[in-house]
Chains A and B, each alone.
Chain A
């Protein structure tokens, strides 16, 4: 049981916009930044979004993040086949004094 809650799966067709949600509490998302990672099995995870809505250099602007209260979301617009991967949200939890991840969302591009 993960501290942050994500849907287990999401899907879309090429060109569509997909949103992945991440729900937490006041001790994590509600009081700190949210981070998003993309993970293709067998490869190193990749930072997509940091501090709620900032993109590292090299991450396309098709990826965007938002944080509202105790929930956050990742939006992917102009969906592409190479976006098929597992997506994880994460946040520092002030009560647990540690970083917590969501359970991950498997994105399928149909």
Chain B
């Protein structure tokens, strides 16, 4: 069974950092693009970033470039999102999602919640 399980969410103070992880199983992880997508409370889905199969190409939403870094470890079947200088606007459920190509996602995880608050 194809599965994506996010972890690493929690409560963080404004200005702090957090690293999210996504453990993949049930498919050949190294054959797919991988994405992070978030949903703030009461808002719609927002694509955050994606990364090519070998990590050689990364795309980010303009508003987050420089603060968030996407990475992957194909040997560990894992995807990561390093988030820095967090603000209240980063409070959201963060989803990990598999991408057959750079344009879309076909399998999503259940999400991990990040709350930025003092």
Contacts and interface: CB of A to CB of B under 8 A. Distances in A.
Nearest to A33: B103
Interface residues of B, number: 23
**What's the dominant secondary structure at chain B's contact region?**
strand
Given A43-B110, A45-B108, A96-B62, A35 B103 contact: yes
A99 B103 contact: yes
What is the interface of chain A mostly: helix, strand, loop, or mixed? Answer: strand
B27 interface: no
B95 interface: yes
| Chain A interface bracket (under 10, 10 to 19, 20 to 34, 35 or more) | 20 to 34
Contacts of B66: none
Interface of A: 2, 32-33, 35, 37, 39, 43-47, 50, 56, 86, 88, 90-92, 96-104
